[in-house]
Structure 1
Amino acid sequence: MRRRCALKHGICREFLAEFLGTFVLVLFGCGSVAQSVLSRSQLGEPLTVHIGFSVGLMMGVYVSGGVSGGHVNPAVSLAMVILGKLKIWKFPIYVLAQFLGAFAGAATVFGLYYDAFMDFTSGILSVTGINATGHIFASYPARHLSVLGGFIDQVVGTGMLVLCILAIIDGGNIGAPKGIEPLAIGLIIMAIGVSMGLNCGYPLNPARDLGPRLFTAVAGWGWEVFSTAGYWWWIPVAGPMVGAVVAAALYFLLVEMHHKQADPQKPTEEEEEDDDEDDEDEDSSLKDKYEMIIMN
């Protein structure tokens, strides 16, 4: 009974950590886009958006990392399941927490800037047009981007994200100093943003894109958020999951499985020294007992 209660308590803690970490990511990330768009670029630009998402991810991982690992992304969670770093039964729980956190983060951004939204749009919330604001919360493709190009974009972008995360947390690799991992992960997003953001704004995260997109659908933008650009919405959901699987497989096959393993047949120098010390202690103990018998 106690074990069951402890298990429930543990998964609740992880659920809340993932929820809060994703909430922080979306609040900072979408908030930076909202400030740039609603101020008509007077208080923001592409670089500030890159910073917002990078710092948002970094802080989200700091918030949740010690409890749940700080995935804040279903694609990352899937990669951890594939590599045996996350139990498969926890996967849907993590994903639900991430989607709810992203939805709540988008709702908070809208509430925070509600008056600015009404002033910018004159009360007409739209996905397309000169006063479009749907792209504040979710990704939409550039005019030049095809469906196949968008899918490849998300596979490659998310693949690089997951590949670098696995390298950062891999104890058998160089890794990152303890406590610095979130900073390093935030820098990955910065690098992806400044190098792969042209096509569709690097969503790379099904929860970060679909959660806010669902919010916009019910908050006044309507179901156009799903039908626009030839029903684009599934690309930033499916693409990152495929990218995560590919990256996890590549990292395991090309890096992780080649780590040098200690030979169990050959004791290390420290183990040999410990054995010598134990032998000396035993000899000393036997000598003391022998001397006591002689004295008696």
Structure 2
Amino acid sequence: MEKNHKRSMRQHCALKHGILKEFLAEFLGTFVLVLFGCGSVAQTVLSRNTLGEPLTIHIGFSVGLMMAAYVAGGVSGGHVNPAVSLAMVILGKLKIWKFPFYVIAQFLGAFAGAAAVFGIYYDAFMDFTSGILSVTGINATGHIFASYPARHLSVLGGFIDQVVGTGMLVLCILAIIDGGNIGAPKGVEPLAIGLIIMAIGVSMGLNCGYPLNPARDLGPRLFTALAGWGMEVFSTGEYWWWIPVAGPMVGGVLAAIIYYLLIELHHQRHDEPENDVISVLDQLELSV
């Protein structure tokens, strides 16, 4: 009886179209990432560092990404990042027509995650800010949701920071999921990916945090603009907002190309002798 009920529920509720399943998975995965990540920042800032510190924020984002990958990985691959999705398109691991659906889902998931953090900590926000939500000043709270540059950081420096940081994220993800490389044991990949964020956080977080994800940064930033922080979230830092959007996309593409040319292209094929080295030009000549 119970089995029949479950089968009936599956038949009536299960989505028939694969892209809708992947859309919902990316939405939920990104929601989880932002809820844990931005939530850890909110707890640190709103408690005035009594219930958090930089290390707890690193842990929040690392575990958040790990759990996001566990939530969405089996359905959509658990990209939860447009830069990762674009890299997969470049490498032929994601069909290009699916890319817009993934990106929209990721932005909506990040927006919803930011809204959830604000809702959970609404009373704390009002107490901390006396009802005045701002990006700058002693009681600034905009940085809970999105990245802003440190005083020493130039626009060019910020762009390079995001290209390199996201490049390392994507490069290491490709290594972890590469079956032709050492890889990670099945089911452990999300844990390894979470550790990448921890490594980036403790080594490349000084300049602007480590957004590394257009959806994770722009989605919550848009939420703050609508929730009371105003357009200051876009104008602060010499209109900084586009850096954590464009930089990660460039970094993701470069990482995909570099990993393919330096690592994946040289994997030993099972049908080739171990010492048989055939250049790309030779392959082209043979095909002609």
Does residue 84 (structure 1) correspond to residue 92 (structure 2)? The answer is yes
User: Are 2:15 and 2:21, in contact at CA under 8 Å, matched by a contact in 1?
Assistant: no
Q: Larger radius of gyration, structure 1 or 2?
A: 1
Percent identity (aligned): 88
**C-alpha deviation, 1:211, in angstroms:** 0.1
Counterparts of 1:57-76 in structure 2, within 5 Å, are 57-76=65-84
Does residue 183 (structure 1) correspond to residue 191 (structure 2)? The answer is yes
Give the whole-Å Cα distance in 2 for the aligned partners of 1:95 and 1:263.
Answer: 38
Give the whole-Å Cα distance in 2 for the aligned partners of 1:95 and 1:148.
Answer: 25
Equivalent position to 2:162, from 150, 154, 160: 154
Matched AA of 1:96: I
Equivalent position to 1:204, from 194, 201, 212: 212
Equivalent position to 2:258, from 250, 257, 263: 250
For residues 109-166 of structure 1, the C-alpha deviation after alignment (integer angstroms, 9 at most, x for no partner) is 0000000000000000000000000000000000000000000000000000000000
Please report the TM-score for the alignment, with normalisation by the length of structure 2: 0.89
For residues 216-240 of structure 1, the C-alpha deviation after alignment (integer angstroms, 9 at most, x for no partner) is 0000000000000100000000000
**C-alpha deviation, 1:264, in angstroms:** 6.9
Counterparts of 1:126-141 in structure 2, within 5 Å, are 126-141=134-149
Does residue 114 (structure 1) correspond to residue 89 (structure 2)? The answer is no
The count of corresponding residues between Structure 1 and Structure 2 is 261
For residues 79-136 of structure 1, the C-alpha deviation after alignment (integer angstroms, 9 at most, x for no partner) is 0000000000000000000000000000000000000000000000000000000000
Aligned to 2:27: 19
User: Are 2:106 and 2:215, in contact at CA under 8 Å, matched by a contact in 1?
Assistant: yes
User: Are 2:40 and 2:60, in contact at CA under 8 Å, matched by a contact in 1?
Assistant: yes
For residues 29-70 of structure 1, the C-alpha deviation after alignment (integer angstroms, 9 at most, x for no partner) is 000000000000000000000000000000000000000000
SS at match of 2:222: helix
Equivalent position to 1:123, from 131, 134, 150: 131
Gaps of 5+ in 2: 1-13, 274-288
Equivalent position to 2:46, from 38, 41, 45: 38
SS at match of 2:211: coil
SS at match of 2:135: coil
